[in-house]
Structure 1
Amino acid sequence: MSEAVKFGSKAAADRAREEHADLVCPVDDDKRMRTVHFVSDAPGSVLDQLRAQADEGTADRADDRPGQIPLTDAEKERISFSRNGVNVLWARSIKGLAQRHGVSDWTAYVDPTLTVDEHREVMENAGQEGGGARDDGDQLDAAREADAAAVEQAEGCNHARGHCEHGDPDACEYLTEACGYSADEVADLLAEPEPASDDGPTDTEADPLSPPAKLEGAQVGAYLRSVRGYLNATDAAAEHIKKLREALEHANDAARAINGIRSDASLDPIHFRKLEQANADLTDLMRMVASTCEECHADHSDHGHDTTAGNREDVREVAVDGASSTPVGTSDETDRAAADADT
């Protein structure tokens, strides 16, 4: 697990990331946050120093923290709460900053795209200007309506994009008519994504699992959550597959022993329906993997068994044409078992 250090400001967190870039955890750290995640084997002395700096910064920040002052009904009417992160507590904190700097017409300086911290400088400058209004009521109402319309438009376009990617023609039409998408952009959404090439990055390397520099804003968080989900899921799959292999080997050995004993006693063999159901679940699982795979290759190079012509095969080919059609092929034991089933 990584070591988390929460700084008093985003600027302090960014300085720590820059000064100790080699110790920042590429998987857990989110550059948008004041909490910095360092690798688990970071030197203890460095972590102690960073925590001391963070504690000092947090104390300084507490002394400069704005109070939250209740809003009047008129002030609530003049603030657009349609954006994410814009809420009553956010506005009350900004009002506290405004009063500290002597800004009476503070709602005229509110910017819904800024955080409370970012409003510190805004209100400080407004106080130096005298705190006068920058917009009259009609302008504020128009701005609020335009902002709400923009948010609604963006949400509608994002929703339509998701449906268009899954082949909904009405959603694709909405993107072109209401969201400004070109025909080529819609075609790109409908196109199947290109599979990863063998020359591309792999998930065993650190860099591809770190947020690429091209990602911005919410994409970074979504990417990190997906990486964590992928790593957790593949680790769990490996553990369950190992247990499943052992359980099936034991079940078949036990079933074979049962029928061997019954045969020696001149009793009819048992039809093992529970094992039959397990076999059905396994073959259905194989079909599911073939139909939904993002990575459709299976690499047997570490499995220690012989292959027919190569170590890699396509799980879709296995499901459709059978394992014997792939470079990996089947074992002599499997071939003999299949021949026995035909007789």
Structure 2
Amino acid sequence: MSTVEFPTKSGADLIRLQYPDALCPDDDKRLKTVRFRSDAPESVVEAAELAAEDERGEHAAGSGQVTVTEPERDHIDFTETTVPHARAVKALALDRGVSNWLDYYNTTLTVDEHRDVYERADGDKRLDADRSAVEKAGKAARHAEGEQCDHAEGHCMHGDPEACEFLTDRCGFSDDQVNKILDDTEGDPSTGDLPGPVYQGLSSQWTKYKAGLAQAREAAAAINEIRDQYGQDPLEFDELGGEVVTKADLNT
């Protein structure tokens, strides 16, 4: 004789109605335990055990009333499971914030065994979200630093010593690279023929001159920006070779 205990009497009574011929003569309909004959088909006893497990899962999940939609049912093989089992597993998954519950649904597991499955799924989802946020922040930081380095290179080319220092400290430029940037800019062609101390002094003055030009260009761009905001034409500056300087020119 085989027995199957249900969490509720209504669950036990439902099995009694489905398989009346398999019941033991001394089965007590007042109890939640169903007694089957010793020669009852094994498939009947297994179906009763699965139904009892499904009902226990519904109560453990805290909500057995979650509807399994028609599209979801189309992806479930109900020859291997039951609707109550799927509903209980879906409720458990949604309680843990896993909306794509079918991706992890396993008809061979009990409802309770799905707890660990969906807890891991929820943890993986949070981890993926954290990784995505870190990657986006890293890309944004690298992009911002790249723009800063481009801007600093332009100022260093015009002799701004702080910009040149920024290139070596923050942008990974070597001293030789910075010196090449400075050498490629317009300067006094005779400086290389001067004695060392004189060369250093003259080079320092060229640096100040270039820094002054950079500041003058920034001021000229600011002047033209203000004029543009008020509908006035930009000015050409004789001191800068008759050039019209705008904000866009500072980044080139």
- State TM-score, norm by structure 1: 0.23
- State TM-score, norm by structure 2: 0.29
